[in-house]
Chains A and B, each alone.
Chain A
Amino acid sequence: MFDLTGKTALVTGASGGIGGEIARALHAAGATVGLSGTRTEPLEALAADLGERAHVLPCNLSDPEAVAALPKQAVDAMGSVDILVNNAGITRDNLFMRMSDDEWQSVIDVNLTATFKLCKGVLRGMMKARWGRIVNISSVVGATGNPGQGNYAAAKAGMVGMSKSLAYEVASRGITVNTVAPGFIETAMTDKLTDDQKSAILTQIPTGRMGTPSEIAAAVLYLSSPEAAYVTGTTLHVNGGMAML
């Protein structure tokens, strides 16, 4: 099940914990992967680890020109982009009343606008191929909100509405567009939390633990597979039950 042999996948934020695991899972299913991220070193290390069928495609998603160029670079490297996983994201947390325009805009730019542009950039090839999978990585806070994350929650909720709209438009062309909404996952992003914050969070999670990047990757693998052809416009929540949506 879930054989991606012959498919090509572009994964943004592949230098991070979740993105790296997503790339590994798609690669293990047979896909050729394009590893994108801001930091080249971890991408090179991951590519070396994966061996064949792995391409390093550095890209700073806060640079509009680099975003515009990425789909073409991916096609040059892999021949096509059959699967796009928009996983890259940043946080610039602050209380709403203290949030600067720059904190707001930079999070919207990277988490939402770059996602829009990358989706648009790969659609032409998917339309012609009459096959495509777009998986956008949102967040539980896009659905629930979170104090201190007005910008991040707005971007992640925006991603859901955008994905549904696009899903409508391209469903007849064999292209699905879905969202995966992770809860609290063990990554560098959640490592920054204090122990007190972590234990407070754990009381809200019925499974009693944080999730792992590989549990997000498994959801992405499913939505990227031929078997998920009838699933589009949905949000798959992977959050240990902390928000049952």
Chain B
Amino acid sequence: MSDVADRVKKIVVEHLGVEEDKVVENASFIDDLGADSLDTVELVMAFEEEFGIEIPDDAAETIQTFGDAVKFINEAQ
């Protein structure tokens, strides 16, 4: 697993209080990991800070799963 994926997973586990093995490629933050819509905003904020990137609102809306987040961040860097 890439370094980016590890760091994203750590943020998700800490923020949502879920087991690490639940955070898989297709895990939806809202449907599978128990996030509410405000949690997804906070996750995006946390990703921005961790990776020093800007995630515009329209892009943030496309980040629904753990895999989406890793892919977006890899491309943004």
Contacts and interface: CB of A to CB of B under 8 A. Distances in A.
Contact of B38 (A124, A128, A169): A169
B45 A172 contact: no
A127 interface: yes
Nearest to B36: A172
Contacts of B36: 172
Contacts of B42: 127
Interface residues of A, number: 7
A173 interface: yes
Contacts of A173: 38
A75 interface: no
11 contacts: A124-B45, A127-B38, A127-B41, A127-B42, A127-B45, A128-B45, A169-B38, A170-B38, A172-B36, A172-B38, A173-B38
Interface in B19-61: 36, 38, 41-42, 45
Chain B interface, DSSP helix/strand/loop, else mixed: helix
A70 to B, nearest CB: 20
B6 to A, nearest CB: 22
Nearest to A128: B45
| Closest 5 pairs between A and B when the two form their complex, measured CB to CB | A127-B42, A124-B45, A169-B38, A172-B38, A173-B38
Interface string A120-140: 000010011000000000000
Contacts of B45: 124, 127-128
Nearest to A170: B38
A128 B45 CA distance: 9
A66 B9 CA distance: 38
Given A127-B42, A173-B38, 6 more contacts: A124-B45, A127-B38, A127-B45, A128-B45, A169-B38, A172-B36
A170 B42 CA distance: 11
A128 B42 CA distance: 8
Contacts of A170: 38
A124 B42 CA distance: 8
Interface in A42-68: none
Contacts of A169: 38
Interface string A162-185: 000000011011000000000000
